[in-house]
Amino acid sequence: MAGSVLSGAERDRRLLERIRDLHGSLAPDLAWLARTVGEEVPRPDILRDLGERLADLGADLITRADELDAEVRAGLPEHGWLPEAGARRRALAVAHQVGPHPLRCGPIFLAVCGAACFPFYGTDPTGRTARHEQCEKCLHVH
């Protein structure tokens, strides 16, 4: 379909299909490449075909990861401080810096120091919410 815009789910499905196709063809391709290496010189057509497939898929995976990363960052406060996941109730929670490109691990974000953080925050720079103590490691990282 020329000109059609794919949804994120459809693009993810197509990426998965490409990965599965590569997985299915990789063993025979590597066996063929190994045979040519055993000869004098590997065949350039084999190297080019495999390299182009890997590069194209890799570029598309990186593009999709950047899009998903932007979606994750759009839902975070600009200051990047999130409270530690699993902090005890009524105790002063520790806030961690999730950084400019936070990693999402299910419903939890991973902070720069490696702590798991809730995807909502309590350290509002305007003072509208209670502040949390800030992680010493995170204060020195960024």
Q: Among 59, 74, 89, which residue terminates a domain?
A: 74
Q: Is the pLDDT of residue 109 over 60?
A: yes
Give the residues across from 117 on adjacent strands: 84, 109
The answer to whether residues 110 and 64 belong to one domain is no
Question: Count of alpha carbons within 13 Å of 12, Cβ hemisphere only?
Answer: 6
Q: What is the pLDDT of residues 62-89, one digit of tens each?
A: 999 888 888 877 878 878 888 888 766 5
Q: Among 48, 74, 100, which residue terminates a domain?
A: 74
Q: What is the pLDDT of residues 1-45, one digit of tens each?
A: 455 677 888 999 999 999 999 999 888 888 888 777 777 777 788
Q: Is residue 1 part of a domain?
A: no
Range of the domain at 38: 8-74
Question: Count of alpha carbons within 13 Å of 3, Cβ hemisphere only?
Answer: 0
The answer to whether residues 94 and 132 belong to one domain is yes
Angle of the 8-38 helix axis to the 44-74 helix axis, nearest 10: 150
Structure tokens, 130: 């209670």
pTM of the model: 0.64
The answer to whether residues 58 and 100 belong to one domain is no
Q: Of 109, 108, 112, 106, whose CA–CA distance to 134 is shortest?
A: 112
